[in-house]
């Protein structure tokens, strides 16, 4: 199981989440055929792909504006539970939670497929 949590920049609170149990690939971007659709001018139509290999996940940047983790531009990287991704340097931020106890310390938020972001 993997959960993506959209985190509002100020005051850094979760605003929306998506949980996936069976998918081996999760696509994130502006296009309506992504698993997670984020409407933001800095997010590419196909911005990020998360790929499952066995019990591990990998991030693959597809966006022209880049994907960042800890302010570092990444092209591909392993997913680490709790890590934060920023879509483009000034774009929306997603926290990634991996495993069955995803919401143990996360405030409850309602799931949705689309979101308008900055």
What is the pTM for the complete model shown? 0.81
Which pLDDT does position 110 carry in this prediction?
44
Q: Which two tokens stand for residue 67?
A: 């994907």
**Radius of gyration, CA atoms only, the chain:** 13
**Average pLDDT of the chain to the nearest whole number:** 87
Q: Is the dihedral of CA 110, 35, 115, 66 positive or negative?
A: positive
Q: Is the dihedral of CA 59, 80, 2, 68 positive or negative?
A: negative
Host H or E run for residue 7: strand 2-7
Q: Does pLDDT of 11 surpass 90? A: no
Report how far residue 40's alpha carbon sits from residue 38's, in angstroms, rounded to the nearest whole number.
6
Domains and CATH numbers, the chain: 2-97 (2.60.200.20)
pLDDT in tens, 91-104: 999 999 998 755 55
Mean pLDDT of 65-71: 95
Mean pLDDT of 94-117: 63
């Amino acid at each position: 199981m993997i959960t993506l949590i959209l985190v509002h920049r100020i005051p850094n609170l979760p605003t929306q989440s998506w949980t996936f149990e069976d998918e081996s690939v999760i696509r994130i971007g502006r296009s309506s055929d992504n698993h997670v659709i984020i409407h933001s001018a800095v997010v590419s139509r196909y911005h990020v792909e998360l790929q499952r290999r066995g019990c591990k996940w990998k991030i693959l940047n597809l966006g022209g504006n880049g994907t960042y983790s800890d302010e570092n531009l990444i092209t591909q990287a392993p997913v680490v539970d709790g890590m934060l991704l920023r879509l483009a340097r000034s774009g929306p931020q997603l926290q990634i939670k991996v495993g069955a106890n995803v919401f143990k310390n996360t405030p409850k938020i309602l799931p949705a497929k689309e979101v308008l972001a900055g």
